[in-house]
Every structure is written in structure tokens, then in C-alpha cells.
Amino acid sequence: MPELTIGSATTRPGEIVTGWFDAVTLPTGGADRFPVIIAQGKEADGPVLWVTASIHGGEHTGLITVQRLITPELVAGLHGTLIAIPTLNPAGLRVKERRPYYLDGDPNRLFPEPARSAQESADPDEKPPSGLQLAYQRLYEAIVASGASALIDLHNAWIGSVPFVFRDPIFFQRGRAGGRKGLPTRAQAQTLMERVNALLDAFGFTIVNEFVADSYVRKNLHRSVSGSVLNGAGIPAFTVELGSWLYVEPRIVEACLVGLRNVMRRLGMLKSAPEPIEGIPVLRPDYPVRRCMHPYAPEAGIVHMLVQPGEPVSKGQALARLTDIFGQPVGEDGGTLRSAHDGFVLGWPHGVVRYRGEPIMVLAIRDEDSLIVPYPA
């Protein structure tokens, strides 16, 4: 499929073209549009890679990385087509906010739901879809119609957090005669996961598994950009977290550029030799890990962190100390909060104040669960 049109951008072999994808009509006239950049090699036949960024408007590293990635030098050696959307949330980006001001919720939970049952879509009281949801639906259809080989969605996590990639679970159809359409068999899900793993391996960052199964669906992560494209369309997809938001760390941009080019090499879009990831920590414990908010504040207080993002932790290790506003310990053991898990620190939720029940830290912990799971009933 050498010629592709996304919004107003149509590929030209050997060139970079730009255009607009109409998104949300505004009540005051005009519209929010997603910018589209397409780079196609002179040899137009080949894989199609999508790179999307900034669906959370305060997350800017992906936007900068996309702009740095697509250059005439890249196109000179390119086979196939690279399609980039520098922002999936122009309204949020303009005001540096996570969500667009016209959406009450997380924009990264609005992509089409994989395998929606007929029962669910027949709910008469269901709110009609918003303009943004419909725009994401149309974009999803464009991604599928482009014959996408893979999709990478770029984000930021917490201030000072380690860069990493999320590996999503893949759902398969339970039994043969379920009510949900479009889900793969267990064997197909296994094959898809192997393709995802090959790309994650090529990307070269720390790999962290997403929440699994029920928790993943309850949090609507199956409707994130990568979750929806992966589980709804069977296209290998993953989310990259590029450290601090509202702040661009040059070493993380460089590492992400290397990761993206290495994925293009794995897909056969670039013929040059893989480059090593440098300048960022890459954590590869000898067991798989998943993300986990831990521990939770047993009481309200001020938190003193005892371990840094990227630092390994073991069961029983002191992670933080909780004090009152005068600096006196809150709770037992001198206010010490200990880890119930082996793993490492991904990042800290922002700030030092915690109300009772709020997470102290974000860890990556040992994960024995399978990521290939039946779709929750």
C-alpha cells in the first residue's frame, strides 16, 4: 500500500509531508485538528509505523522527540512509511494541561473499546459519544486502514521518574461461542505478544508490565491508545514513558530517538546497525515486573523518601518515613514504611504531602502473572 492519505496529508515517496486531521468542532467556530507528519522512503513499499504523542497535554517529551526524529537524513535511508501525530490533544497542549478543557476525564481512555458486546452498545441511557471520542474512533480506523505494522505512543510519567515502556496484556476469546467479536484465540494472542516483545526488546528501555486483566479493564486501559490498537486491531503497540512531564530531558530524548530507530531497524524500515541506548538507566532484573502503587499512606502526613527512582528495593526495605508537620514520626517503627515487594522504584507521585490512603511511591514489582489472559466477563 504505497500511497496513503491521513487527513489532508498524502504520502509522496522520498519526502516528508504534513497535513491536518479534523478532530473536534468548536462551538465558537473553527476546530481542533491533529497535526500529521508522514515520512515515506523512496522505496514506498514496506512497513507502516505510527508514532503518536502528547495525548496528555502536559507531556511534551514525545512531541519534541517526534519533531527531532523526522528529518531528510532519516527519509534518505527509509523503507516504508512513518506516520507521526505530534499531539493527540491540541487543547490540552495549548494550556499545558493533562486533559482538554472540554473533556471531563482522561483522553487516553477514549479510544475504541476492543470487543464491545452487543448488550453494552444497546444501553438506551448511554451518553452519546463526544466529538473527541469520535475523532479518536476515526483516527483508529485510519490506523487500521493504513495497514499499520506497529504503533508507539509517547508519554511522560512523574517528575524525576525513570524512562520505561509499558507492556499491555493481550486478551483472548474465552471459549468458542462468546458474545464478543474481534478477540484473538489464545494462540493468536501468543503470536501477537511475541511480536510486541520483539519490538520492546529492540526499543531497549526498561520494560514494565501494565496492571493485569480485571484491573486493567476497570481502569479503562484497554481504551488507551496502545491498549485499543493492540487489543482491538491486533497491531503490536506499546506506551513509552519519558520521565518528567512539562520538562524535556535531553538525554531521554536522545535515548528515545535511538529506541525508535532501533524499532524501525527491527521492522526492516532502516538498514543501519542498531545503536546502544545510552544516558539513561535500563533496569533488567532477572524477573518480569509490573507497576504497583506502594505503599499507601496509613495516616496523613509528610513523606520523606529514602530511595530514589531507579533504585532496586527488596522486601522489608525501608522506602520512606512519614512525619507530622513538625517532623515527628507518624505511626509505628519511627514512621518507617517498608516494601512488601522486590523490585525497583519507578517514580514518586508529586509532592511530599499525603492524605491517608494516598500512594507513597510507584514501584515496579516482581510479576508472576501471565499477560495473555481471557477477556474479563
Which residue ranges make up the site for Zn ion (CB under 5 A)? Answer: 56, 59, 155
Identify any residues that bridge with 344 across adjacent strands, giving them in sequence order.
312, 364
User: Which residues are CB-contacts of 241 (< 8 A; sequence separation ≥ 6)?
Assistant: 155, 156, 157, 161, 163, 164, 165, 166
Q: How far is the CB of 166 from Zn ion (least distance, A)?
A: 10
Is the Cβ of residue 155 or residue 290 nearer to Zn ion in the bound state?
155
H or E element that contains 266: helix 250-267
Between 60 and 155, whose beta carbon lies closer to Zn ion? 155
Distance CA 188, CA 290 (A): 23
- Specify whether the CB–CB gap between 168 and 221 falls below 8 A: yes
Q: Whole-number minimum distance, CB 158 to Zn ion, in Å? A: 10
Q: What 3-state DSSP class applies to 239? A: strand
Amino acid symbol at 337? L
Q: Considering the complex, state which of residue 54 and residue 173 has its C-beta at the smaller distance from Zn ion.
A: 54
Question: Looking at beta carbons only, is 189 or 242 nearer to Zn ion?
Answer: 242
Task: Give residue number: closest CB to Zn ion.
Answer: 155
Q: Strands, DSSP E only, in 242-354? A: 289-293, 301-305, 312-313, 318-323, 336-338, 343-347, 353-354
Q: Which is nearer to Zn ion, 56 or 167 (CB)?
A: 56
Smallest distance from the beta carbon of 62 to Zn ion, in angstroms?
Answer: 9
Least separation in angstroms between CB 224 and Zn ion: 9
Nearer to Zn ion, 155 or 321 (CB): 155
Q: Is residue 245 exposed (0-12), middle (13-18) or buried (19+ Cβ within 10 Å)?
A: buried
Can you list the alpha helix ranges (DSSP code H) found in 117-161? Answer: 118-121, 131-145
CB of 246 to Zn ion, least distance (A): 12
**Smallest distance from the beta carbon of 344 to Zn ion, in angstroms?**
21
